[in-house]
Amino acid sequence: MDSPALKLRLSGITSSHISFLELTRKLVQTADARAEAALAERELKMRRKLALRLRLARARYRRHCQQRAKSLALARVIALSVDFQSQLQKQQKGLESACTRLALDIASSILQERISEASAGLARKISTTIAKITPSSAPVLFVAASQAERLCADLNTQCQVTPHPDLEPGNAILRLDTGEIHFNWQRDFEDIKSQLNLALDRT
């Protein structure tokens, strides 16, 4: 049987061993708790960083979308402005052309009226033509009946003036021994109108 001294010694060793184990267990628990706390803190920091990055990414994306929308809106406004200016220029050009053509039509009506009343311009043109060609025989001038008498007085003996039923006032046919020369103010005026209209279409 064990002696009381041995039992006391063994009891002291066992108590010391138990105390050491208890201390070790507490240290391990403390270390584990600190490790868990450190891990939780790292996870919290990581979550905060991720949340911050997510907020920053959302803010950047929102700014990008806003900038994109502004750029698209500005491009649309510019396109509409250019289209509006183009349409305005086309309408302005069309109005200018229409006004010019209307002015030519009015001028044609005024010329028709003035030429019907006066024959001096036609007489000067015929006199100039006869002076340039110097015919060998007296030419025959066919004119509208309403202008025959006046032209005969204006041209004197330069040519023989004969009324023609198919000629309008302001027009004439000068018959020479070499051929005929036709004076047609409507044709000349239409040539001028065509040239002006062509110039308007090119602008």
Q: pLDDT tens-digit profile of 176-199?
A: 888 888 888 888 778 777 777 777
Instruction: Using a cut of 0.85, tell me whether the model's pTM lies above it.
Output: no
Paired residues of 180 in beta bridges = 175
Radius of gyration of the chain (CA): 57
**pLDDT score of 10:** 47
**pLDDT score of 142:** 93
Residue labelled with tokens 């919290």: 44
Cα(111)–Cα(108) distance, integer angstroms: 5
| Residue 112 burial (CB count, 10 A) | 16
Under 8 Å CB-to-CB from 167, ≥6 apart: which residues? 142, 143, 144, 173
**pLDDT score of 118:** 59
Are residues 177 and 135 in contact, defined by beta-carbon separation less than 8 angstroms? yes
Higher pLDDT, 9 or 154: 154
11 pLDDT more than 60: no
Query: How much of the chain, in percent, has pLDDT values that exceed 90?
Result: 2
16-20, 60-64, 87-91, 123-127: lowest mean pLDDT where? 16-20
Are residues 169 and 116 in contact, defined by beta-carbon separation less than 8 angstroms? yes
